[in-house]
Amino acid sequence: MTSWIAGVDVGGGGIRVQVRTDDVGLKARDRGPVPRIAGAIDTSRLCGRIGELINSVVESGARPAFERIAVGLTGMPGLVRPAELADQLRLHVKTSSVVVASDSVTTHLGALGGEAGCVVSAGTGAIALGTDHRSTWNRADGWGYLLGDEGGGGWIGTQGIRAALRFHDRRDGGSEALLRKVEHQFGGVSAALAAIYNSPSPIHSAATLAPLVADAAHEDDPVARAIWVEAGRLLAESAFAAARGLPQTYSWGGRLFDAGELLLGPFRDEVLKRSPDAEIRPPQGQAADGALLLAARGIPAGAIAEPYVHEFA
Amino acid sequence: MTSWIAGVDVGGGGIRVQVRTDDVGLKARDRGPVPRIAGAIDTSRLCGRIGELINSVVESGARPAFERIAVGLTGMPGLVRPAELADQLRLHVKTSSVVVASDSVTTHLGALGGEAGCVVSAGTGAIALGTDHRSTWNRADGWGYLLGDEGGGGWIGTQGIRAALRFHDRRDGGSEALLRKVEHQFGGVSAALAAIYNSPSPIHSAATLAPLVADAAHEDDPVARAIWVEAGRLLAESAFAAARGLPQTYSWGGRLFDAGELLLGPFRDEVLKRSPDAEIRPPQGQAADGALLLAARGIPAGAIAEPYVHEFA
């Protein structure tokens, strides 16, 4: 009998689904934002979209019974009730088991292929997770735009605008290059501030300026370069804190690392400064790959995983 | 004939009104928050409250015709349309002229009694204004919780919680004293984060923790002390930038300076480091005193004041 599993990554860029049977792997994605209701994640609408994607890759008529579906998503613990998500998902897909995990876990599984170590994820926010997937679960940062997420995309964008405004005000530490880029993008300083503060999510708007700060850095603006160096250092600091008691194997995930060596260079330097024997590995896969791996192996017997991973069989 | 003027300060702690005739000064205040509608200031409700306060201090029956009423308030330029506020105020009080000013201007007038120089205001936010009230108007910072307000109350509070979370995560730069205080105040780290992020204004909630960071500093926690030193330095940096081309006379306003020497010491040190001949004066008065002075003297003929001050005669 054919065995079906599915891994689902729910992120800022949309939903990615991977379905696997004994001999074939299928993929689908959409690009909608994570549906929200009253600040929390709208699990009902979310599961409707997940169900639609999973069913879209399976031949019509053949609705298989899945062995296990694993969903990794942001906002855990806190913004989502895992049991509710599992119940909602069963309205759309037949499955023996649902695993609901923090996206820091699926990113970790994707990056290190299930091995113990530490993975730092940086998108708009930033979090480091060090785990052996059994008894050790160390988290560092991931505390949100106001109180943490140091070195993430929102942090990069806000530091870039702060440097632009410092130049505008003739304060120290300003960057003329960043001011010109911000003015060019928005048509002026007031327009930039209005666009960011009046957007539905100011920190996401600020994070979209990370590539602009990268451009200025590539053009050798020293202030912009220093922002990326500091971001790499902060991410490494979180990674090192989360790696205590674990093999010193490090990797990364998240779209901020698309900046390449601009971020990776300082990250690597700082990890090796703190942990000279560390092995720093490029990620094997993304969060969706990690979710598929989690669907394949489930939670090992005897492992403590909550509140990072929950299984509903 | 008796001449009447009124000065009004609209701030986070409520509305303060000062009314003066030839021979008598009267005061009133309320403690409601600034009324808002769709993100902007609700001028209709605000003017109702201002009118009520002004009329409350005048003998009943005798509704005088004011010569000039000056209102200083936050969010200018941007969150308020001065002409609309002037029109709304006339529905409640009879006056020949209405002056609408940024509270950075009324704080400046209150602190330096109308003289040229630079005044830094720090409440939840932080802004420095250097002006001679005629042709020079230099602003530094005041760019809001995400992109500026460096050294303000929101900045102090968030730095305090960041340091608490750094200790919690075992990252560098953490403060155990601050973690214990945050846990004690909220019952735990998760509860603290939920209380702040779920409040109607996270940055105001964070700013309410400034006294907690002050307590830790007074108990000689080095991380908490360093936060106040850096705040004083940042405020001085903004003040120095805004003081260019003006007499090097500095003062301050806003509730964050209730912290006293903890903030003033580093502020003074940094101003004198940058401008060794600076005169640093304790404020003569508060923003309400500045508003009364503005009502008394209006905008000098030939002065350029917009967008900081508008007069509607």
With contacts defined as CB-CB under 8 Å, which chain A residues touch B148? 162, 165
Q: How far is CA A218 from the centre of its chain?
A: 24
Q: How far is A125 from chain B (nearest CA, A)?
A: 14
Question: Whose CA is closest to A125, among A18, A225, A221, A234?
Answer: A234
pLDDT over 80 at A59, yes or no = no
Flag whether B122 is in a domain: no
Q: Does B171 touch chain A if contact means CB atoms closer than 8 Å?
A: yes
SS3 content of chain B, % helix, strand, coil (to 5): 45, 20, 35
Question: Whose CA is closest to A190, among B136, B76, B31, B210?
Answer: B76
Region of poorest pLDDT, from A71-80, B91-100, B134-143, B196-205: A71-80
Question: So what's the pLDDT on residue B177?
Answer: 98
Question: Whose CA is closest to B253, among B167, B152, B180?
Answer: B152
pLDDT over 90 at A303, yes or no = no
- Let me know whether B165 and B276 are in one domain: yes
Q: Does A200 touch chain B if contact means CB atoms closer than 8 Å?
A: no
Residue B33 DSSP label = P
**B200: nearest CA partner in chain A:** A39
> CB burial class (10 A; 0-12, 13-18, 19+) of residue A219?
exposed
Question: So what's the pLDDT on residue B1?
Answer: 58
> CB burial class (10 A; 0-12, 13-18, 19+) of residue B127?
buried
B202 contacts A165? CB cut-off 8 A: no
Mutate to test the interface with A, among B36, B79, B146 (most CBs of A within 10 A): B146
Q: Answer whether the bond into residue B211 is a cis peptide, omega within 30°.
A: no
pLDDT over 70 at A207, yes or no = yes
Domain that holds residue B183: 153-280
- The H or E element spanning position A284 is none
Cα–Cα distance measured from residue A108 to residue A116, given in angstroms and rounded to the nearest whole number: 9
Who among A150, A165, A238 is closest to B143 (CB)? A165
Kindly give the interhelix angle for A287-297 and A103-112, rounded to the nearest 10 degrees.
90
φ, ψ of residue A66 in degrees (nearest 5): -80, 150
Question: Whose CA is closest to A103, among A32, A164, A12, A3?
Answer: A12
**Residue B234 to residues A88, B22, B141, B206, B274, Cα–Cα distance (Å):** 50, 42, 10, 18, 12
pLDDT over 90 at B12, yes or no = no
With contacts defined as CB-CB under 8 Å, which chain A residues touch B200? none
Q: Please, what sign has the CA dihedral across residues A212, A218, A224, A230?
A: positive
- The H or E element spanning position B255 is none
- Let me know whether B245 and B291 are in one domain: no
With contacts defined as CB-CB under 8 Å, which chain B residues touch A77? 190
Q: How far is B244 from chain A (nearest CA, A)?
A: 9
Flag whether B296 is in a domain: yes
- Contact call for residues B21 and B2 (beta carbons, < 8 A): yes
- Let me know whether A188 and A267 are in one domain: yes
What size, in residues, is chain B?
313
Flag whether B99 is in a domain: yes
Region of poorest pLDDT, from A185-199, B93-107, B298-312: B298-312
Who among B203, B206, B237 is closest to A171 (CB)? B237
| Residues A289-302, mean pLDDT to the nearest whole number | 91
**Residues 242-301 (B) with a CB less than 8 A from some CB of A:** 242, 244
Q: Does A238 touch chain B if contact means CB atoms closer than 8 Å?
A: yes
Q: Does B206 touch chain A if contact means CB atoms closer than 8 Å?
A: yes
Share of chain B above pLDDT 90, in %: 79
pLDDT over 70 at B60, yes or no = no
Flag whether A42 is in a domain: yes
| Residues B86-93, mean pLDDT to the nearest whole number | 95
B145 contacts A171? CB cut-off 8 A: no
Cα–Cα distance measured from residue A289 to residue A5, given in angstroms and rounded to the nearest whole number: 12
- Let me know whether A103 and A186 are in one domain: no
Largest CA distance in chain A: 71
Question: So what's the pLDDT on residue B130?
Answer: 97
Place of tokens 């605000």: B46
pLDDT over 70 at B300, yes or no = yes
pLDDT over 90 at B214, yes or no = yes
> CB burial class (10 A; 0-12, 13-18, 19+) of residue B236?
buried
- Let me know whether B59 and B78 are in one domain: yes
- Let me know whether B258 and B177 are in one domain: yes
**Kind of pairing, strands A14-20 and A4-11?**
antiparallel
**Kind of pairing, strands B126-131 and B117-122?**
antiparallel
- pLDDT bracket for residue B265 (50, 70, 90): very high
Question: So what's the pLDDT on residue A61?
Answer: 64
Q: Does B145 touch chain A if contact means CB atoms closer than 8 Å?
A: yes
Sheet strands (E) in chain A: 4-11, 14-20, 25-30, 36-37, 40-41, 66-73, 95-102, 117-122, 126-131, 137-141, 249-253, 279-280, 309-312
pLDDT over 80 at B273, yes or no = yes
B143-178 burial string, b = 16+ CB within 10 Å, else e? bbbbbbbbbbbbbbbbbbbbbbbbbbbebeebbebb
Take residue B35 and report the two structure tokens written for it.
Answer: 């009324």
Question: So what's the pLDDT on residue A60?
Answer: 61
Cα–Cα distance measured from residue B269 to residue A77, given in angstroms and rounded to the nearest whole number: 45
Question: So what's the pLDDT on residue A1?
Answer: 58
- Contact call for residues A22 and A62 (beta carbons, < 8 A): no
B196 contacts A171? CB cut-off 8 A: no
pLDDT over 90 at A295, yes or no = yes
| Residues A22-31, mean pLDDT to the nearest whole number | 87
> What type of residue is A59?
E
- Contact call for residues B66 and B52 (beta carbons, < 8 A): no
| Residues B105-131, mean pLDDT to the nearest whole number | 96
pLDDT in tens, A78-135: 778 899 999 999 999 999 999 999 999 999 999 999 999 999 999 999 999 999 999 9
B147 contacts A162? CB cut-off 8 A: yes
B196 contacts A146? CB cut-off 8 A: yes
Flag whether B64 is in a domain: yes
pLDDT over 80 at B136, yes or no = yes
Q: Does A147 touch chain B if contact means CB atoms closer than 8 Å?
A: yes
With contacts defined as CB-CB under 8 Å, which chain B residues touch A239? none
- Let me know whether B46 and B108 are in one domain: yes
Question: So what's the pLDDT on residue A131?
Answer: 96
With contacts defined as CB-CB under 8 Å, which chain A residues touch B150? 162
- Let me know whether A182 and A290 are in one domain: no
A206 contacts B140? CB cut-off 8 A: no
Take residue A216 and report the two structure tokens written for it.
Answer: 């200025």
- Let me know whether B211 and B302 are in one domain: no
A194 contacts B139? CB cut-off 8 A: no
Q: Does B141 touch chain A if contact means CB atoms closer than 8 Å?
A: yes
- Let me know whether A266 and A307 are in one domain: no
- pLDDT bracket for residue A57 (50, 70, 90): confident
Region of poorest pLDDT, from A6-20, A206-220, B52-66: B52-66
- pLDDT bracket for residue A173 (50, 70, 90): very high
| Residues A246-272, mean pLDDT to the nearest whole number | 97
With contacts defined as CB-CB under 8 Å, which chain A residues touch B40? none
CATH (domain of A267): 3.30.420.40
| Residues B82-88, mean pLDDT to the nearest whole number | 94
Q: Answer whether the bond into residue B82 is a cis peptide, omega within 30°.
A: no
Q: How far is A189 from chain B (nearest CA, A)?
A: 10
Q: How far is CA B231 from the centre of its chain?
A: 16
Flag whether B127 is in a domain: no
Flag whether B28 is in a domain: yes
The strand pairing partners of B27, in sequence order, are B18
- Let me know whether B192 and B265 are in one domain: yes
- pLDDT bracket for residue B58 (50, 70, 90): confident
What size, in residues, is chain A?
313
A260-263: Cβ within 8 A, 24+ apart: A262/A214, A262/A217, A262/A218, A262/A228, A263/A122, A263/A228, A263/A231, A263/A232, A263/A235
- Let me know whether A247 and A297 are in one domain: no
- pLDDT, greater one: A223 or A32: A223
Q: How far is A25 from chain B (nearest CA, A)?
A: 39
What is the rounded end-to-end Cα distance, in angstroms, of chain A? 20
- What are the DSSP calls for A202-260, one per residue? HHHHHHTTHHHHHHHHHTT-HHHHHHHHHHHHHHHHHHHHHTTTS-SEEEEESGGGGGT
Flag whether B121 is in a domain: no
Q: How far is CA A236 from the centre of its chain?
A: 16
Cα–Cα distance measured from residue A232 to residue A120, given in angstroms and rounded to the nearest whole number: 11
Number of domains making up chain B: 2
Q: Does A60 touch chain B if contact means CB atoms closer than 8 Å?
A: no
